[in-house]
Structure 1
Amino acid sequence: MEIERYTRYNRAFTIVLIQPPASGSHQTRLQLTRTASERALALLRTSDLITIFETSAFVIALLPETDAVGARIVFDRFDEQMVRPGEGWMLKMATYPEHSASIEYFLERFSELLRSSDFKTERYGYLRQVTTDVSRSWRDLPSAQ
């Protein structure tokens, strides 16, 4: 529903994927996921949406009215306040329409990312894996075709 409204009115939005370190038990990762969700809520606006996927231990945030410039600000906040060097947190962000000319393609690629069994190692064109070691790779994201 929200995504339909963004595309109808030609508004930007950003999707953020947050994954805790892969080491440890599922219960430990689940607790880290809950912690990540709480941290994200503290960093985001009240209009932003957060969902926890407990079975896979990751968080997705939908940031309405957030273009690539705004997403960069959010990324920097996450990078500074959520991700600690050496912990192995994964942050992935993509902004529509900057990172895909078609909403269908954008959502299809994001769905593929979620379906992949080990998405923390995948790199999909517009979705760039970001870790504490390569946290400045955001600028390498391609723009819409």
Structure 2
Amino acid sequence: MAFFDELKDRAMDLGRAGVAKSKQLAEITKLSLNNAGEEDAIRKAYIEIGKLYYAERGMAAEPAYVALCERITAAKINIEENKNRIAELKQEGNISDDEAASYVETNVPPEEPVGGEDAQHSEEIPPQE
């Protein structure tokens, strides 16, 4: 009889340990998801800071930001040139916006993160002080 009582106690201890571990894992998951959301909020704030800086100082940027602002300006020029060429091609081929959008959706591979595959790993968010 003592054997069964001991076995029962061990089973209950294991059950309690399992419940405790499940609670800990659930909290870890919750906190990790919260951290991911906070990191996303930081990235969005950095983007907004960059947009604001470029809008206010892009044409007269401080030396540390000149190359980045020039890259943005060059990209904006390329985008406008591409949009103009797209409009020309649509007009030449009598292609509707819907036809073009449908073709692009089915034939363009998904975008890679800016900077290629390693960009997410090479560009760390600076530590907060």
Fold-level similarity (TM above 0.5): no
The normalised TM-score by structure 1 is: 0.22
The normalised TM-score by structure 2 is: 0.24
